[in-house]
Amino acid sequence: MNGFVEPKPHLVQPNPGGDDDPLGESVLDPARPWLRVFEPRDTRLIIGRHQDPERELRCAAAQEDGVPIHRRVSGGGAVVLAPGMVVVSARLRADGDLGPDHWFARLNAALIPAVASVGAMTPATQGHGDLAISGADGVARKILGASLRQSARLVVYLGVLLVDDAVPLMERYLAAPSRQPAYRAGRGHRDFCGHLGCHGVTVAGLIASVDAHCRARLAAWAGDG
């Protein structure tokens, strides 16, 4: 990570990497495919590049349960990765001096129809690259969070879509976030987060749809190293 030295190695483990890299960061390797869409095999906790795990996570619970903690190469907030979610990671060529909001919009232009094609709802962009759906009460609830890492040549996107109800895991392992989007409005995990499974979406169906839509809409910017 460009010489980054982990300040809390007693808590945060290196990404194990490999063909089945659990964070989706294998797209950083120019020898590997530019796009990965997959379901996590197990539960892991991920913090943003500059976050303090003891501020963002319930570390004692993670250690008690043997849940690994990793640090992302990109920014963004702390998340749980677990089965029942869909991780989207992409390596794209930088396009001039376009900033993060442009890239979030470009990714969401692929992800919104991908979700809509397998569920009876169309999510909308909220906050800084999130996707949310509104229930009968009209309140927006998050179903995707994302982060970016940009360089002069490449943009790496990491996003997580919630299919199963992940709130019990969030309540056990995530503290109230140190930074919150305005649309969260101070809500706890249960009131803030939705999930696509309650709309009939399956992990397998969503993976296939997201993969197809991303390849169709983003291939022109596929990173080549």
pLDDT for res 2 = 59
Asked whether 91 and 156 are in contact (CB, 8 A), the reply is: yes
Please give the Cα distance from 184 to 125 (Å, whole number): 13
- pLDDT tens digits, the chain, 225 residues: what are they? 456 889 999 999 999 998 789 999 999 999 999 999 999 999 999 999 999 999 999 999 999 999 999 999 999 999 999 999 999 999 999 988 889 999 999 999 999 999 999 987 899 999 999 999 998 888 999 999 999 999 989 999 999 999 999 999 999 999 999 999 999 999 999 999 999 999 999 999 999 999 999 999 999 999 875
Judging by beta carbons within 10 Å of its beta carbon (0-12, 13-18, 19+), is residue 85 exposed, middle or buried? buried
User: Other CB atoms closer than 10 Å to residue 25's CB: what's the count?
Assistant: 22
Asked whether 49 and 57 are in contact (CB, 8 A), the reply is: no
In the chain the domains, ranked by start, together with CATH numbers, are 25-221 (3.30.930.10)
Please give the Cα distance from 1 to 110 (Å, whole number): 28
pLDDT for res 1 = 44
Please give the Cα distance from 161 to 10 (Å, whole number): 29
Cβ neighbours of residue 178 closer than 8 Å, sequence gap 6 or more: 51, 55, 56, 77
